[in-house]
Amino acid sequence: MHFGWHWLPNILTLVRFALIVPFAIALNRGQFMLALGLFMLAAISDGADGFLARRFGWFSRFGAIADPLADKALLLTTYAMMALTDLIPDWLLIVIVARDLLIVTGALAYHFLIGRYQMSPSLLGKANTFIQILFVVIVMAEYAGLSVPDFAVPMGIYLVALSTALSGFHYVVVWSLRARREAQA
């Protein structure tokens, strides 16, 4: 079997999937420094696989599907574990899950009622993901005993909720308008 470098982004995506379980275990055990390190490693692998795919044109159908799934699995697992261990309020997890369910439900409805589509993250969606990742780092750092400003976690909770709600609303508006145009065509 021939290994080509073009598979490297996919391997990094698989590494990100593989890091989810040890991260969740570390978080559940209160090993916040280890959890922070594993989360940072996963975040770096996400940036690296995207960079390599864009820089060298190493795109694949697998990567197009697996990369966003790995991102979503990591973030949903992280926020679920943070809620289960009382690091964040349960309502924040509900906001995040509700947004994701809304997007998936909308995408399925569009597919079955309108037709094929090319889903791509919006600028607001990317900003929301960045804010969610940054907030995880802040929470893990605080619980690991690193110096974090007192306002960072409480402010971060509301910032994550706001960015999540706004990006969810944005997707609904954009895809509703697109569906209306397609239906009229």
Question: 169: which residues sit within 8 A by CB, 6+ positions away?
Answer: none
- Residues written for the chain: 185
Assess whether pLDDT exceeds 70 at residue 1.
Answer: no
Q: Of all residues in the chain, what percent carry a pLDDT higher than 90?
A: 70
As a dihedral over the C-alpha atoms of residue 176, residue 179, residue 181, residue 183, rounded to 10 degrees, the angle is -140
Q: Of all residues in the chain, what percent carry a pLDDT higher than 70?
A: 98
Q: What topology does CATH give the domain 5-184?
A: Four Helix Bundle (Hemerythrin (Met), subunit A) (1.20.120)
pLDDT tens for each residue of 80-102: 999 999 999 999 999 999 999 99
Distance CA 27, CA 30 (A): 5
**Are the beta carbons of 129 and 100 closer than 8 angstroms?**
no
Assess whether pLDDT exceeds 90 at residue 127.
Answer: yes
Per-residue confidence at 2, pLDDT binned at 50, 70, 90? low
- Location of structure tokens 């021939």: 2
pLDDT tens for each residue of 26-74: 999 999 999 999 999 999 999 999 899 999 989 888 988 899 899 999 9
Distance CA 137, CA 143 (A): 10
Instruction: Name the token pair of 8.
Output: 């490297």
**In the chain, how long is the greatest CA-to-CA distance?**
58
State the DSSP H helix or E strand holding residue 80, giving kind and residue range, or none if neither.
helix 61-84
Backbone angles phi, psi at 138, to 5 degrees: -65, -45
Distance CA 52, CA 62 (A): 15
pLDDT tens for each residue of 128-171: 999 999 999 999 999 999 999 999 999 999 999 999 999 999 99
Assess whether pLDDT exceeds 90 at residue 180.
Answer: no
Supply the pLDDT for residue 3.
60
pTM confidence score: 0.90
Assess whether pLDDT exceeds 90 at residue 119.
Answer: no
**Are the beta carbons of 72 and 16 closer than 8 angstroms?**
no
The domain limits of the chain are: 5-184
CA dihedral over 77, 99, 67, 106, signed as positive or negative: positive
Supply the pLDDT for residue 121.
82
